[in-house]
Homo-oligomer: A and B are copies of this chain.
Amino acid sequence: MFKELTPAPEWDVDQWFNSSAPISIASLRGKVIVAGAFQMLCPGCVSHLIPQLKSVRALFPEDKVAVIGLHTVFEHHEAMGPASLKAFLHEYRVPFPVGVDKPSGSSDPSPLTMRRYRMRGTPTLLLIDADGNLRSQTFGHVPDLQLGAEISFLLQERDILARADNGEGAAQNAGCDDSACAVN
């Protein structure tokens, strides 16, 4: 993860699916954010990232972990418009909010959020902590074991900060019941 904490750039999204209202990073403050940038016709996204994001959604509680898809189309724009994306999300039973990254409006085929994060392509996975800092950004596939460990790290770190803010010592409160990733 990044040595210095840097705020995650706000995303620039035109349109949301699976959400009744726009979603900003700021509006998710207090939750760990697992955001996957994908294209609906990118084979690696379809076979690995989308199923992984669905697993994250199923495993971690919604009040602590937000799962977000970002449709960052940088090629074949005519084939991956909102109507196509809507059908894709339906057919692949994607349950989490997905935002359409805003086209650049210039000759650059990459959309705005993608450029802001200097993403190299899709799939790209972003981990943003509960304070809105970008903690990791990975182009390609992150193994489940590693992703689970990273999310859990950010969740527990958050709990520690919360307790510290309350003037409580960490050691006394480190019981398992506070875990976000309940077991057995």
Contacts and interface: CB of A to CB of B under 8 A. Distances in A.
A87 interface: yes
Interface stretch (A8-16, A20-28, A104-112, A152-160): A152-160
Given A1-B176, A152-B148, A170-B160, A88 B79 contact: yes
Interface in A51-80: 52, 55-56, 59-60, 75-76, 78-80
Interface in A39-54: 41-43, 46-47, 52
A78 B83 contact: yes
A60 B161 CA distance: 24
26 contacts: A1-B182, A1-B183, A47-B47, A55-B145, A76-B87, A78-B83, A78-B87, A79-B84, A79-B88, A135-B176, A137-B184, A138-B183, A145-B148, A149-B149, A149-B181, A150-B181, A152-B153, A153-B156, A153-B176, A156-B156, A160-B160, A160-B170, A161-B170, A161-B171, A164-B169, A169-B169
